[in-house]
Copies of this chain bind each other. A is one copy, B any other.
């Protein structure tokens, strides 16, 4: 319980220490690990990622955390959605992003409030299915396919910017289980791991059979 308090305190401090985004519409860079401090009133505001990878983190009561999404270039997320559950947005790797007003005329296409909420709803809904009745192997297969689609447009060479614990918190598994299932997929010949970060999909159809 004390540890829990400490972790929460550390979390609060980290959030407080992180720098603000600055003015609207201005692109900002984030160093690895840096926490994006969202404005108090986020109504109507959204963040668009232009480079790198961010994670949306939610602290749980037992001291663990849940990553509800990774954000890649082109992704947009509403600030209010993140704040509603004490979430923070943190840089997984060196990143760039822009805070903007969804109701402003210069927000760009597909960035109006209904558009952003619609796409977010679809994304979150997908995660309900991901977390529901899938076992570790199925979750990991689905994850790799998702990363392939989002990071390399469906290509078989994917470089994962996030760590094993990050993947674990995203799939709601322990890092060890993630690791074991990576190993198993390699042993089964479905993927290859040239490095811990680099994944080569050898048998996409099999992965889809498992993960869908």
Contact = CB atoms under 8 A, between A and B. Distances in A.
A84 interface: yes
A74 interface: no
B114 A124 contact: no
Given A84-B122, A117-B117, 8 more contacts: A60-B133, A61-B212, A66-B128, A66-B129, A66-B133, A68-B128, A84-B125, A127-B128
A37 interface: no
Interface residues of A, number: 28
A132 B66 contact: yes
B124 A125 contact: yes
A121 interface: yes
Contacts of A117: 114, 117-118, 121
A151 interface: no
Interface of A: 58, 60-62, 64, 66, 68, 80-81, 84-85, 113-114, 117-118, 120-122, 124-125, 127-129, 131-133, 172, 212
Nearest to A172: B132
Most interface-central of A120, A125, A133 (chain B CB within 10 A): A125
Nearest to A85: B125
Contacts of A121: 81, 117, 120-121, 124
14 contacts: A64-B133, A66-B129, A66-B132, A66-B133, A81-B121, A81-B122, A81-B125, A113-B114, A114-B117, A117-B121, A120-B121, A121-B124, A124-B128, A128-B128
Nearest to A67: B132
A128 B131 CA distance: 7
A76 to B, nearest CB: 13
Contacts of A84: 122, 125
A176 to B, nearest CB: 15
A188 B127 CA distance: 33
Contacts of A212: 61
